[in-house]
């Protein structure tokens, strides 16, 4: 997702801002765009599930934790700060918190 997309702000054609596809995706996620969320899920769910299943070893519990994690992503994406963590790391941290809750 490193390809740049040209976006024109306001009606002034001389005012151009270059946004990466990732920035566009994150903007869409912040306003709860379902298609953007599906893209995020398709990109990261398998890797996050792999991380969860290695720690839980119970397929049904792992699926439940994955679901809970992505529900939290959907609900709290506005609080995600891409300057502090990469998106995968942030989602994985949510998964780890959910693993801890599920195994207590």
Specify whether the CB–CB gap between 62 and 53 falls below 8 A.
yes
80: left (phi over 0), alpha (psi -120 to 50) or beta: beta
Prediction pTM value: 0.79
| Domain range for 22 | 4-102
What is the arithmetic mean of pLDDT over 20-40? 94
Q: How many domains does the chain have?
A: 1
pLDDT confidence of residue 18: 75
Report which DSSP code applies to 23: H
Grade residue 15 by pLDDT with cuts at 50, 70 and 90: low
16: left (phi over 0), alpha (psi -120 to 50) or beta: beta
Supply angle C-alpha 92, 95, 99, rounded to 5: 140
How many other β-carbons are positioned within 10 Å of the β-carbon of residue 99? 19
CATH of the domain at 11: 1.10.1740.10
How do residues 47-100 score in pLDDT, each as one tens digit?
999 999 999 989 999 999 999 999 999 999 999 999 999 999 999 999 999 999
pLDDT confidence of residue 1: 44
């Amino acid at each position: 997702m490193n390809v740049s997309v040209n976006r024109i702000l306001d009606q002034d054609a001389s005012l151009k801002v270059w946004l990466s596809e990732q920035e566009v995706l994150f903007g869409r996620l912040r306003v709860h765009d379902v298609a953007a969320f599906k893209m995020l899920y398709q990109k990261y769910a398998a890797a996050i599930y792999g991380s969860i299943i290695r720690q839980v070893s119970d397929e049904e519990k792992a699926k439940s934790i994955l679901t809970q994690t992505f529900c939290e992503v959907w609900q709290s994406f506005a609080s995600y700060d891409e300057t502090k963590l990469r998106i995968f790391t942030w989602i994985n941290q949510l998964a780890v918190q959910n693993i801890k809750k599920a195994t207590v």
